[in-house]
Chain A
Amino acid sequence: MAERPIAPHLFDGPRLHWRWGPHMFVSILHRVTGDGMALVGLGVLLWWLGSLAGGEESYRSFRDAMASPLGLIVLVGLSWAFFSHMSSGIRHFVLDLGAGYELATNKIFSVVAPVAGILLTIAFWAIVLTK
């Protein structure tokens, strides 16, 4: 059978067929943060609610786990995933309306979304940790 290009046609020999752009990055980021929250975040959510329902002792074990270095990395990662996914999700709402497809506008939105995600994460933890 003839060697036909398959979609997505990424490579031309060893070379990429395309140049990286921020819109590609934000698209992949949206999927990674979404699937990451689905697989990890919902588990932590259930652990949190289950431990709250279980009483003081079970809640303390959840709190201790989340206050550990690994727990904090998970929580910071999840909060970043949420704020990033929210920002790039709002970008999707705008695109769904049929707006924001002009090259320059699209590029600006694609850069603003992940930056907003990081800034909101910093703001959230600044409020939580300065209490």
Chain B
Amino acid sequence: MGNGTELGRVRGLGSAHHGAHHWLLQRFTAVGNLVLVLFLVVSLALLPGYDFVSVRGWAQGALVATALALLIVSTFWHARLGLQVMVEDYVHTPGNRFAMILLLNLAAVGGAIFGLVSVARIAFSGAA
């Protein structure tokens, strides 16, 4: 373990041996979520109605589709990090913990890809 640079002193430390990396990414994605989920919530509040045509017409816009795609990446990444902490805090058996982290990674990536595919299908489905 390095004792020279600041990075060398913190890398690999902490109970999960991930050092500051997990902590920083949790904050980066938290800022992303703050902006993107607020955009979603405010947009939903301002929509004229919640019928298919209104909602899909809104979701088809290029900027809205971009925001929704970013929202999926940011929220799923943030959720993966948060649920990892829950597993690390409450699942103590090494084998079970490994299995939970493995399933968590598969579910997070699978869910995020499904969300991105759905956003793309909405955006590319032509004018409603």
A positions within 8 Å CB-CB of B: 31, 34-35, 37-39, 42-43, 45-46, 49-50, 52-53, 56, 59-60, 63, 79, 82, 86, 89-90, 92-93, 96, 124, 127-128, 131
Contact = CB atoms under 8 A, between A and B. Distances in A.
B19 interface: no
Contact of B55 (A38, A45, A52, A124): A52
Nearest to A43: B111
Given A35-B83, A49-B115, A124 B45 contact: yes
Contacts of B44: 128
B55 A96 contact: no
B63 interface: no
Contact of B50 (A35, A63, A89): A63
Contacts of A92: 30
13 contacts: A34-B79, A34-B82, A37-B79, A38-B79, A42-B75, A52-B59, A53-B118, A53-B119, A53-B121, A59-B52, A89-B30, A89-B34, A128-B44
